[in-house]
A and B are shown apart, each in its own frame.
Chain A
């Protein structure tokens, strides 16, 4: 018995080894140093009357609260474009996938959209970690991603268009604002992931060059709701202001603790860079009234394009639904893609990229222009104050659209950052 099965096992192993060797020999593909591997990119399907685009957002998990609104906003733009005849005479068919707030899942879904659905472009992602996870997928397949959220900069992928703010359009203006308000010391609170850590690195470099003191720096895991220690440390620091880069539902717990520690917007204002109208609604404006935010768009931003956008959004999704900066940037990104495709006369990513420089769109936030070199867009920075009604009123703006500078090359104090 046992000798029989050991012979069997030996045969099994030999067979498996032979099989593996045969496979390995027949399957030697390109070496890394072989230079540009022949065009292995998945070809988008543009043959029919419709073209598919991918919508890649977290519809479950800790980021869902924010990302679902972006998905809704993307769908609104697509519906509007389809109602007016589509792009290059083709209707757009959105394929929605759930990134599940999990970065490897984002990579899997991006790959599925490009290679199985053969989409012409993809819109979405929120966290930097999800963008970093899908970046190689888009680059490998030479397919385009439109990323609609403010982020920490220091990136220019040839296959990503960044329609949210980079640091010199959001964080740097917010610091300028605090400085001009006479704030001499700040405390940094953030979620423990790449955006807050990188943003805080930039903030510390700015503070050092501008005579501001950073009195503390604390990180909480994404999704954490335990903030009593941090709130007490913030209180004890007696900083002039708090710079908050917390993301998602952690903000709810943080601001509740902040209030119960006896801190207020007048005693120690908090500038948040990830709290927009949607989050104000879920945190509760009673905890946030009077606090500051830094964005490029608010629901209250003046202009006919925004009035239209807010009206259309509420008509589609309900009167109680607010609009926010990432939603606006997502909505804008679809129109910018449309304009690029029409200028290029083709859905081909390379031609779309080549046509991108100088494309403009009368977005809800005002006129935006694509900077072809960095594939970011010119945006106006806006500081807002959260009102008791849950809306955010602008208290300051940069006056003109700021040229994107993802590597902060135009700032001397930032020279050591990258």
Chain B
């Protein structure tokens, strides 16, 4: 339908009304996040929402890489962790003040000065850039290796899992320089602002909400560009895309690297919101939880994945407060029900309703599935 020499990021024309709906959706989300939530929620609940929004940011990347690109990213914890640790390392150095070692190093370490690989993080610009670029770099190296060798499907998922496990175990082992299982805790300030102050906590929430909307806009742009079409094509039939003259490895690599950057940013913002980053947020279980949130909501739908991630994180808090002794069973049940009966996630419900309505309105055969429901 379009000249193959057109730039890949050109937007392709959409179904009529799609764009207006997106516009309304963005506006509604902005009003909810910037207006309603701060008014309706206590400081504590708003802090929790900030945490959920961080998992939603990871879900945006998962929607792109898994939902659109078919890459089962079971290892997003690594990138979340890289971003989180990069941020936390800078904040710990800043908390300690010039010339001092972070508290845990004085406690568990023997070194009298910062390890060499900590030193660049003393620079706020380097640390900020690293939160996004470091995960992207790791993903690029790893991805080019994996995709060129045409590793896919379950093997890709297993590799991702192995990597998160290895990263978490490494962090735990280096107690003197990474804080071990404790992780980096007791973070007091955020670029000069005192995190103990509820006003600053609120500011962190606004930054996170804005970042989430920005990432969603970016992902939407990618999904509705020619690149987005190509990504879906690779997911559905990699060989055909190869025969058409594209290199599927590069197509997948871009989605993987962008998803990693998003997870890194999420991890970086998680640190000031929660005040801790630890291997518990990085290993196999949290990596699976990131994916589950997107799966429950609908991995191929941007809004579905984001709402799914927020919903699952919220349900975790709500259920555990209500049934402290039995909530894990409820959570498990929720996943099983969602995945067994709605493999396309909750977002597919919307599509089902829409199709049924369309079918009832006219006797014409229902239109081809929108891409979002094909997965």
Contacts and interface: CB of A to CB of B under 8 A. Distances in A.
Q: Do A and B bind each other?
A: yes
Interface of A: 1-2, 4-5, 8-9, 12-13, 15-16, 19-20, 23-24, 27-34, 37, 40, 59-60, 96-98, 100, 102-105, 107-109, 111-112, 115-116, 127-129, 132-133, 135-137, 140, 154, 192-194, 197-198, 201, 219, 221-222, 418
Contact of A194 (B182, B192, B199, B317): B182
A contact face: mostly helix, strand, loop, or mixed: helix
Interface residues of B, number: 63
Interface in B255-293: 274-276, 278, 280-281
Interface in B316-359: 317, 320-321, 324-325, 327-328
Contacts of A112: 44, 321
Given A37-B197, A103-B278, A29 B203 contact: yes
Contacts of B206: 20, 23-24, 27
Contacts of A27: 199-200, 202-203, 206
Interface stretch (B72-80, B173-181, B304-312): B173-181
A15 B183 CA distance: 38
A228 B126 CA distance: 45
A132 B103 CA distance: 12
B11 A2 contact: yes
Contacts of A33: 192
Contact of B274 (A13, A104, A128, A154): A104
Contact of B182 (A15, A111, A116, A132): A132
Contacts of B192: 31-33
Contact of A29 (B11, B19, B194): B194
Contacts of B214: 16
A29 B199 contact: yes
B169 interface: yes
B33 to A, nearest CB: 10
A325 B194 CA distance: 39
Contacts of B324: 59, 96-98
B225 to A, nearest CB: 11
A100 to B, nearest CB: 7
B94 to A, nearest CB: 8
A37 B200 CA distance: 12
30 contacts: A2-B13, A5-B11, A5-B19, A8-B23, A12-B26, A16-B210, A27-B199, A28-B203, A29-B198, A29-B203, A30-B196, A30-B197, A32-B194, A40-B198, A59-B324, A60-B325, A60-B327, A98-B320, A98-B324, A100-B328, A103-B182, A104-B278, A129-B180, A136-B187, A136-B275, A192-B172, A194-B175, A194-B182, A219-B173, A418-B106
B155 interface: no
Contacts of B327: 60, 98
A222 B324 CA distance: 22
Contacts of A128: 182
B194 A37 contact: yes
B32 to A, nearest CB: 13
Contacts, number: 175
A31 B193 contact: yes
Contact of A20 (B45, B196, B210, B217): B210
A129 to B, nearest CB: 5
Nearest to A116: B44
A108 B181 contact: no
A133 B182 contact: yes
A103 B173 CA distance: 17
B47 A111 contact: yes
B137 interface: no
A24 to B, nearest CB: 6
Contacts of B42: 115-116
Contacts of A127: 181
Contacts of B183: 103, 129, 133
Given A24-B203, A133-B278, A97 B194 contact: no
Interface in B8-47: 11, 13-14, 19, 23, 26, 30, 34, 42-45, 47
Contact of A133 (B23, B185, B328): B185
B236 interface: no
B352 to A, nearest CB: 27
Most chain A CB within 10 A, of B43, B275, B276, is at B276
A130 to B, nearest CB: 9
Nearest to B107: A154
B141 to A, nearest CB: 26
Contacts of B372: none
B210 A30 contact: no
A182 to B, nearest CB: 31
Given A29-B194, A31-B192, A115-B42, 16 more contacts: A5-B23, A16-B30, A16-B214, A27-B199, A29-B202, A30-B199, A34-B194, A97-B321, A98-B325, A107-B276, A108-B51, A116-B42, A129-B183, A133-B276, A194-B108, A198-B107
A51 B19 CA distance: 54
A13 B23 CA distance: 12
A40 B197 contact: yes
A193 B183 CA distance: 10
A115 B199 contact: no
Contacts of A221: 169, 172
A203 to B, nearest CB: 15
